[in-house]
Amino acid sequence: MKKLLFALVALIFTSSLWCFSALAIGIGGYVDVSGGSGDAEWDSDFQSWDIDASAAAFGFVLDTAPMNERTFNYRLNAGVAAQNFEDDFGVEMEAGGIYAENIFGFALIRDENVRWWLGPLVRVGIYSGETDTFNTGGGTQQIDFDYAEIGFGAVTGVNFNINDRLILAPSIGFRHCVFAGTGEFNEYDGGVHYYWEEDITGEVTSVFANFAVLF
């Protein structure tokens, strides 16, 4: 599953960047915040464990129909994200990476001043991070992560034409993302260093708010 997920991420991310260069009509920047929950498990686990998730991101946004040009619009958010996960035991993992979110919008209202749209989204990303150091009972442990994610969801937004050169474009929605990767364990017990690797998989459902400015 891990190799397949990384391949899908590479394919969709590459096609997203092609669209970024080929279809640019409205372009600008955005900030994005999200929060949710899910579960994850190691290969050696007999059952999954719950996680709380939060994230913040910023980057470039492209929209092929920011106002009343067409009923359909393609929007690309490509940026840098910081993700935070916390499990049932209070162990916290912080990660950073790059991602692309492909949004396919359909206008419900469109004129020269306001465009209200909604549609599905597809998200891919690649991240790395680490946990804090935590006690294991007899020693301490710390885990480094590398993982990829792919997600689906829905989003709705409203574009406000402030003037001929500025469009404010807030949106809200939800995402369901699955991720897979590898954790590198570093454990210190009685002065002895133990090291091993293990695969991890999981999923997170979150709600998000995005604020974009288009020029």
Domain of 123 in residue numbering reads as 2-214
Domains identified in the chain, total number: 1
- Asked if residues 121 and 101 have their Cβ atoms less than 8 Å apart, the reply is yes
Q: How confident is the model at residue 49 (pLDDT cuts 50, 70, 90)?
A: very high
Is a pLDDT exceeding 90 seen at residue 38?
A: yes
Per-residue pLDDT tens for 89-103? 889 999 999 999 999
Closest to 211 measured CA to CA, from 170, 161, 155: 170
**pLDDT level of residue 138 (50, 70, 90 thresholds):** confident
User: Taking the model in full, what pTM does it have?
Assistant: 0.86
Predicted local distance difference test score (pLDDT) of residue 23: 46
Which of 6-10, 18-22, 112-116, 183-187 is predicted least confidently?
Answer: 18-22
Q: Give dist(CA 154, CA 208) in Å, integer.
A: 10
Give phi and psi for 5, each to the nearest 5.
Answer: -65, -45
